[in-house]
């Protein structure tokens, strides 16, 4: 995985949008982001991480224009709306590639995480983020869940800043 600040230049969200300013692993950890690169030939390591982190359920999602048909553009637009979840979001990329953008706190800058096959990303509950494919327009990912699979995005707004999961997230990254 490669992480850098988003350039904020208008245009297709699937473009790289690389500002040229890389983001360090230490900064990613400071905002609660975890990541590993596990070659897809060594997927058994995912089971070890799942057990250590108490991920009990999983499924696979494939996002392509062919697979989503007429819903493709609407789905991409909805994935790209800034939102949070009340659960961790865990993705292991099996094929293809894409971007997860996360908000750095307290600057509110976008950090773009470029993911390819073999990348495992864990976003903490309460972090503002969004997702998009890249120009290859295809991704297949293993989704892991602590409990029953649920995918409930809560779009950013006045109520999300006081959501208990957002408040807990901010407390967890506070510098003492």
Residue 142: DSSP 8-state: E
Non-local CB neighbours of 21 within 8 Å, separated by 6+ positions: 4, 5
Alpha-carbon distance 117 to 94, whole Å?
A: 5
The answer to whether 89 is annotated as binding is yes
The answer to whether 17 is annotated as binding is no
Q: Say how many C-beta atoms besides its own lie within 10 A of residue 139's C-beta.
A: 24
**Nearest one of 13, 49, 43, 24 to 122, comparing CA atoms:** 49
The answer to whether 129 is annotated as binding is yes
Return phi, psi of residue 85, to 5°: -130, 160
Q: Is residue 68 helix, strand or coil?
A: helix
Binding-site annotation: residue ranges for Ni(2+): 83, 85, 89, 129
Binding-site annotation: residue ranges for Fe(2+): 83, 85, 89, 129
Binding-site annotation: residue ranges: 83, 85, 89, 129
């Amino acid at each position: 995985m490669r992480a850098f600040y988003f350039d904020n230049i208008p245009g297709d969200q699937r473009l790289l949008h690389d500002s040229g300013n890389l983001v360090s692993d230490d900064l990613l950890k400071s905002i609660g982001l975890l990541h590993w690169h596990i070659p897809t030939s060594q997927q058994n390591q995912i089971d070890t991480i799942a057990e250590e982190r108490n991920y009990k359920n999983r499924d696979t999602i494939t996002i392509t224009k062919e697979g989503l048909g007429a819903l493709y553009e609407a789905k991409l637009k909805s994935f790209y709306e800034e939102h949070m979840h009340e659960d961790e979001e865990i993705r292991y990329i099996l094929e293809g590639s894409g971007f997860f953008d996360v908000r750095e706190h307290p600057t509110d800058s976008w950090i773009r995480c470029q993911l390819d096959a073999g990348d495992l990303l864990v976003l903490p509950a309460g972090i503002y983020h969004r997702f998009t494919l890249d120009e290859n327009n295809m991704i297949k990912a293993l989704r892991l869940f602590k409990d029953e699979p649920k995918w409930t995005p809560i779009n950013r707004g006045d109520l999300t800043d006081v959501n208990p999961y957002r408040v807990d997230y901010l407390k967890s990254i506070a510098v003492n």
